[in-house]
């Protein structure tokens, strides 16, 4: 007798599965997932190691055909699991992005490619001798249909950590000091005892200058005259740049980062937060079939989304579980006795169509 599919609500949400992801994907009900993030093997022909030098895993297939034979059923199942307005992000690089793009065009439809995102993951300081340094990854962003969640994201034009920012305790905001003048001659007039320098004029009208001054947003010299480089600007005043498909505002994690785990291909949390904020809403379900160190799961839970994580590497699942238990949201749920986060679901497979067998209880 065929075994009934696992109960979706009771045994899948907010869980990490250790085992073959294709088996788990086939048990997830159709049309139930809002966002899938896939960071699969890249077929990079590399052996990855932990920080202590020990072997972690191999990213190598016998051929690109072998690699795509591995990927195709997992992409098919991801498509099936998505809601009609669901989306998928496929993280890849030059080794296979062209092949994955063609396959996703077949599965999702050519017109349902929303964006090809280019992420600059490093500054490219290494010295390549026979080719250009490779400093980017590709993230293919597809929708299951034309109707999909999309929340515009912004990048601040300056970072608060830059040396020219300071914290104003009176207003409880970060601020910077900028120039009151600019090149030109159209606003050359004396104002409160000051004139712009040669070839320059006021960047603002007289009325605006008076407004800044009366609001206490212009620094003055010892004589009480306005400083030409003295406009105090607060974070809320600085225009925000809309995120494009070129992401250059955060790199891969540095070796000394407090966010680093033992997992060699860990992605930065801010990368996954941007993806999840951009293409899902609170309460949605995020699925990561290659969850690795659990960054997508941590980002999802931090942003109050549900998650499903899968990986065939037991160590990766343990790292994911450890990180999840450290999130503030999980700690609150544990405190309320809503979650028991002590176990990982172990998946045992004999064949690709066999039912899931759990050897330990879920958390």
- Looking at the structure, tell me whether residues 151 and 168 fall in a common domain: no
- Looking at the structure, tell me whether residues 302 and 166 fall in a common domain: no
Q: Which domain holds residue 220?
A: 161-237
> For residue 304, what is the DSSP state?
T
| pLDDT score at 350 | 32
| pLDDT score at 185 | 79
| pLDDT score at 73 | 97
Q: What φ, ψ does residue 267 adopt, rounded to 5°?
A: -95, 155
- CA-closest candidate to residue 142, choices 60, 52, 82, 200: 82
Domain boundary among 212, 237, 262: 237
- Looking at the structure, tell me whether residues 151 and 296 fall in a common domain: yes
- Looking at the structure, tell me whether residues 180 and 278 fall in a common domain: no
Q: Within a domain: residue 2? A: no
- Looking at the structure, tell me whether residues 190 and 317 fall in a common domain: no
- Looking at the structure, tell me whether residues 250 and 116 fall in a common domain: yes
- Are the CB atoms for 294 and 321 separated by under 8 Å? yes
Which residues of the chain have a pLDDT value below 50? 1-6, 9, 49, 157-163, 336-343, 347-363
- Looking at the structure, tell me whether residues 177 and 255 fall in a common domain: no
Domain boundary among 193, 219, 237: 237
- Looking at the structure, tell me whether residues 340 and 249 fall in a common domain: yes
Q: What digits encode the pLDDT tens for the residues 147-156?
A: 999 999 887 5
Q: Within a domain: residue 95? A: yes
First and final CA of the chain: distance in angstroms?
28
> For residue 5, what is the DSSP state?
P
Q: How many Cα atoms are found within 13 Å in the side-chain-facing hemisphere of 61?
A: 15
- pTM of the full structure: 0.71
Q: Are strands 82-92 and 200-202 parallel, antiparallel or unpaired?
A: unpaired
Q: Within a domain: residue 1? A: no
- Looking at the structure, tell me whether residues 41 and 165 fall in a common domain: no
- Looking at the structure, tell me whether residues 148 and 265 fall in a common domain: yes
Q: What φ, ψ does residue 90 adopt, rounded to 5°?
A: -110, 115
| pLDDT score at 60 | 75
- CA-closest candidate to residue 321, choices 345, 356, 304: 345
Q: Which residue has the tokens 């049309």?
A: 31
> For residue 62, what is the DSSP state?
S
- Looking at the structure, tell me whether residues 182 and 88 fall in a common domain: no
How many domains does the structure of the chain reveal? 2
């Amino acid at each position: 007798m065929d075994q009934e599919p696992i109960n979706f609500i009771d045994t899948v949400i907010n869980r990490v599965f250790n085992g073959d992801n294709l088996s788990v994907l086939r048990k997830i009900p159709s049309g139930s997932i809002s966002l899938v993030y896939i960071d699969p093997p890249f077929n990079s022909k590399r052996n990855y190691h932990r920080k202590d030098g020990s072997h972690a895993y191999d990213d190598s297939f016998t051929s690109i055909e072998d690699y795509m034979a591995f990927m195709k059923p997992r992409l098919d199942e991801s498509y099936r699991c998505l809601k009609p307005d669901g989306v998928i992000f496929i993280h890849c690089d030059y080794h296979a992005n062209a092949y994955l793009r063609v396959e996703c065009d077949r599965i999702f439809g050519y017109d349902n490619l929303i964006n090809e995102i280019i992420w600059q993951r490093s500054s490219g300081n290494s010295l390549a001798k026979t080719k250009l340094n490779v400093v980017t990854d590709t993230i293919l962003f597809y929708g299951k249909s034309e109707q999909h969640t999309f929340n515009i994201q912004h990048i601040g034009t300056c970072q608060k950590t830059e040396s020219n920012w300071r914290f104003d305790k009176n207003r409880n905001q970060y601020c910077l000091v900028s120039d009151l003048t600019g090149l030109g001659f159209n606003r050359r007039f004396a104002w409160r005892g000051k004139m712009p320098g040669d070839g320059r004029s006021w960047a603002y009208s007289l009325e605006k200058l008076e407004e800044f001054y009366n609001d206490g947003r212009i620094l003055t010299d010892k004589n009480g005259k306005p400083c030409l480089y003295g406009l105090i600007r607060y974070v809320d005043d600085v225009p925000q740049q809309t995120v494009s498909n070129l992401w250059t505002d955060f790199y891969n994690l540095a070796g000394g980062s407090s966010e680093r785990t033992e997992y060699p291909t860990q992605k930065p949390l801010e990368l996954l937060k941007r993806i999840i904020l951009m293409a899902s809403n609170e309460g949605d379900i995020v699925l990561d079939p290659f969850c690795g160190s659990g960054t997508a799961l941590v980002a999802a839970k931090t942003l109050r989304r549900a998650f499903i994580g899968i990986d065939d590497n037991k160590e990766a699942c343990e790292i994911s579980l450890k990180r999840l238990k450290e999130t503030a949201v999980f700690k609150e749920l544990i405190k309320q006795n809503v979650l028991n986060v002590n176990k990982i679901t172990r998946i045992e497979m004999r064949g690709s169509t066999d039912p899931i067998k759990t050897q330990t209880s879920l958390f």
